[in-house]
Amino acid sequence: LNDNIYYILAGHGGPDPGAMGNYDGHTLCEDEYAYDIALRMAKKLLEHGATVYMITRDNNDGIRDESVLEPDKDEVYYLNKTIPLNQITRLDLGCEIVNELYEENKKHSEKKQLAINLHVDSRSTGERIDMFFYYKPGDNKGRDVATTMMNKIEDKYNHHQKNRGYYGSVKPRNMQMLRKIIPTSVFIELGKIRN
């Protein structure tokens, strides 16, 4: 992956914990799990030679192996920019940071650039979906990347969890984090925090 640059945004953070669930008397916060998974993804990408920018950061939380991740509100954006509480302002700032990095890297490099936005789904407790992927409507490259990701995940499920089945999808969606980010972007919803 030496010719690739990735911008990884873990959903929510700072004053916004995102979706919340309960497990064995503990509160589960989407931002903590999305961040942990984003760090694990970044580590793998780096191991394969990619350039990675963690847009969402928590300076005192690295990869954690606990079954319950304790919530906090100290996440920041790249270069220690405060994550705003207002949702539109927060999303705009995340897009702005990615776009500035994209433009700067585009001046100095021919590397392919991709933004990945990770979230943990919060739909009903009874609905079972493993992972699903969104891309910007009309962005064929985004659709192809999302489809490749989903197919690879499905292959891994079939190999490591035989007979379990995989429930995911790839769909276009007109979301701010897809619409306003310049590089090809994929929005990933993981699991169910309430299931």
Could you report the per-residue pLDDT of 5-23, keeping only the tens digit for each? 999 999 999 999 999 988 8
- 164-181 pLDDT, tens per residue? 888 889 999 999 999 999
- Mean pLDDT computed over every residue of the chain: 94
123 Cβ partners below 8 Å, 6+ apart?
Answer: 129, 192, 194
- 70-82 pLDDT, tens per residue? 999 999 999 999 9
What's the whole-model pTM score?
A: 0.94
Task: Report the percentage of the chain scoring pLDDT > 70.
Answer: 97
Say how many residues make up the chain: 195
- 101-156 pLDDT, tens per residue? 999 999 999 999 999 999 998 776 666 778 899 999 999 999 999 999 999 999 99
CA-CA distance, 54 to 170, in Å (whole number)? 24
Cβ proximity of 178 and 185 under 8 Å: yes
pLDDT for the residue 160:
94
State the greatest distance between any 2 C-alpha atoms of the chain, in Å, as a whole number. 51
